[in-house]
Amino acid sequence: MKQHLISYKYGIRGIWLAFCYEHSMRFHLVAAIAVIILNYVLKVNHTEWLITLILIVLAWMAEIFNTAIEKLADKVTTNHDALIGQVKDLASGAVLIICLFSALCAAIIYVPYLY
């Protein structure tokens, strides 16, 4: 049980590091706060709240995975390597996919509230 609880400490540290040192995570945090405020102001329903919260968490997770892959790749070699470049681009592409999908969902959710 003790080891299990210790693993939470490492997870929390990882989240803390992401928000403290990664510019992209701070951007995602500001965007998440804006979404939460907008949800509150527009009084979106429970389902829409859940959808937006899930998308926020998915974007954060994708960004943290992307950061982890980039840091690991940079540790392997600082020289240009085509395969490592592709891996980094793929990880970055995953972040882009969830962010674009989130923007589409935001449009679907918020546009009806604005009219």
pLDDT of residue 106: 96
pLDDT of residue 8: 93
Q: What is the pTM of this model?
A: 0.89
Taking only the tens place, the pLDDT of each residue in 1-24 is: 888 888 899 999 999 999 999 999
Alpha-carbon distances of 12 from 9, 61, 80, 99, rounded to whole Å: 5, 13, 32, 23
pLDDT of residue 5: 86
Taking only the tens place, the pLDDT of each residue in 32-82 is: 999 999 999 999 999 999 999 999 999 999 999 999 999 999 999 888 899
